[in-house]
Amino acid sequence: MCPRRIEEDHKSFRDVVGGKIRKALKKWIKTGNIFKNRGKNGKLSIPIQRIDIPHIVYGDNPSGVGRGNVKPGDVVGKDDSQGQGQGNQAGQDEAEAIMINLDMEEVLKFMQEELALPNLKTKDDECIDEIKIKYNNISLVGPESLRHTRRTMLQALKRMCSTGEINTLHKIPGFKDPVKLITPINSDKRYRQFKEVKFPSSNALIIYARDGSASMEQNKCDVVSDMAWWIDVWIRRFYKRVERMFVWHDVSAAEVSEDKFYKYRYGGGTTCSSALKLISKQFENRFPPNKWNIFVFYFTDGENWANDNELFVKLLKDEFGEKIVNLFAITQIYAYDHKNSVMEAVDQAIVDNVLGDNVKTTEVPLSAASSDEARNKAILRSIREILGAKGSVLEDAE
């Protein structure tokens, strides 16, 4: 069957759709709205505009003619598309959009390009070697199933040439003339042999810690949840084996499950250093820093007992040096301007060169008045800051 003409056109239509997807994705990433959508089953669905060839047409048709046995006043139908977004332009736009499923892998690749997030680095010296088996050696003994036939025959040929055995002619049934034969003996046999190869480690430990005091309200927790999910996805891109640990603290810290991490609220006061103490204890036995790439993400609203800030910085300096953790990121989500906040103290320490490059800080300004978009953009910016993206791609694009 000859190729059909429609196939070419169909393919170019698919390309048009592909272009639309890229555009839509770009828009979504730019506004940060993507951080509210969590991909399920490795797929993320985003809305794209319906594809059509626009002509000059009339707008919404508010009346018309029908037929049937009715009397004036009867309801003959309902426009479902209106629903909640009445008279709202945004509502109309969304009604026209169709949802398209995308692979998370593609989304992440796109994020890498668009947000210019740098690749994460592993620790320089203390990488643990991971052992893998590769069949890249030859031995004289071994099981028959691993016999290397080509090498064996080559060996037999070499041997027979050196002894002159090769010149003897043999009569073989099926052949008219006598032929030369190569016959391997046991000492010619060669076997494949495995060797242990060491690969650099790809273990990562992500520690999420958060302040659980009463001032961490629902909307702040949502920000934590959104950011944590995407950071998680990003880090998993680089490491094969990822362990996660969740630490929650008020006056004292405790390790909790993921569910509880997002749900727990209403603790008493706040001692930020308690979380650091708990985490640093884990490094002794459970997660030795020389075997793990460690990423710590600490979320707070900045309120801390004043004298605790000094202790916090001291602990950061002593226990979370560059050799111990790859990244220590402090995200401060605040609704009002706070003096003497944790971030202020840490920033001061960074300026004074007390802390290393692995400590990063960012803030997510959040107020009741700020719109969803502003919030999403703030999250986007924070993620870029703590993951160490350079330049301001987004601001340029606007």
Partner 1 sequence: MSERFMHGSPILLGSATTPGVRIPPELAKLIPDILQSCRDFGLDFYPTIVQMLTHDEISEVAAYGGFPVRYPHWKWGMEYEELQRGYMYGMHKIYEMVLNTNPCYIYCLNSNTLLDNVTVIAHATGHNHFFKNNIYFSHTSDNMMNELANHGSRIRRYMSRWGKEKVTEFIDNVLRIETLIDNAKAWETRQAKDPVFRDIRRYRHPRRLPITKERTYMDNWINPSNYIQREHDRIEKIEKAEDLGIFTNPEKDIFGWIKENCNLKTWQADIMSMLYDEALYFSPQGLTKTANEGFASYCDYHIMAKQGLVGLGQEGHDHGIVEYSIHKMGVLGGKYSMNPYKLGFNLLCDIEERWDKGQFGSEWENCDNMRERENWDQKLGLGKEKVFEVVKFYDDVNLINEFFTQEFCDKYEFFDWQKQENGEYVVVSKDAKQIKRKLITKYTNRGLPDIRLADPNHLGRGIMLLEHQWEGRTLYKPYLQETLKSLNFIVNKPVLIASKNKNEEEVIYYCEGFGDNEVHELSRQQYRKEFGLSSS
Interface positions with partner 1 (CB under 8 A): 1-6, 8-16, 51, 53-80, 82-83
Beta bridge partners of 293: 204
- 368 and 336 in contact (C-beta within 8 Å)? no
In this structure, what token pair is assigned to residue 198?
């060491």
Q: How far is the CB of 397 from partner 1 (least distance, A)?
A: 17
Which CB, 11 or 170, lies closer to partner 1? 11
Which CB, 87 or 174, lies closer to partner 1? 87
Which CB, 75 or 131, lies closer to partner 1? 75
Q: How far is the CB of 239 from partner 1 (least distance, A)?
A: 40
Strand 129-139 to strand 191-200: parallel, antiparallel, or no bridges (unpaired)?
Answer: antiparallel
Residue that the structure tokens 């490059």 belong to: 357
Q: How far is the CB of 107 from partner 1 (least distance, A)?
A: 24
Q: How far is the CB of 3 from partner 1 (least distance, A)?
A: 8
Widest distance between CA atoms in the chain: 113
Nearest 10 degrees: CA dihedral of 363, 367, 370, 374?
Answer: 10
Secondary structure class of 251 (helix, strand, coil): coil
Secondary structure class of 200 (helix, strand, coil): strand
Q: How many CB atoms lie within 10 A of CB 283?
A: 18
Which CB, 60 or 357, lies closer to partner 1? 60
Q: How far is the CB of 41 from partner 1 (least distance, A)?
A: 22
Q: How far is the CB of 371 from partner 1 (least distance, A)?
A: 23
Q: How far is the CB of 99 from partner 1 (least distance, A)?
A: 15
Distances (CA, A) of 373 to 5, 62, 104, 289, 300: 45, 33, 22, 39, 22
Q: Which amino acid is residue 317, in one-letter code? A: K
Which CB, 8 or 258, lies closer to partner 1? 8
- 334 and 302 in contact (C-beta within 8 Å)? yes
- 300 and 267 in contact (C-beta within 8 Å)? no
Which CB, 8 or 113, lies closer to partner 1? 8
Q: How far is the CB of 389 from partner 1 (least distance, A)?
A: 30
Which CB, 6 or 368, lies closer to partner 1? 6
In this structure, what token pair is assigned to residue 154?
């080559």
Q: How far is the CB of 13 from partner 1 (least distance, A)?
A: 3
- 85 and 135 in contact (C-beta within 8 Å)? no
Which CB, 57 or 141, lies closer to partner 1? 57
Which CB, 62 or 143, lies closer to partner 1? 62
- 273 and 308 in contact (C-beta within 8 Å)? yes
107 sits in which H/E element: helix 104-115
Q: What is the DSSP string of 144-195?
A: GGGB-HHHHHHHHHHHHHHHTGGG-EE--TT-SS-EE-----GGG--EEEEE
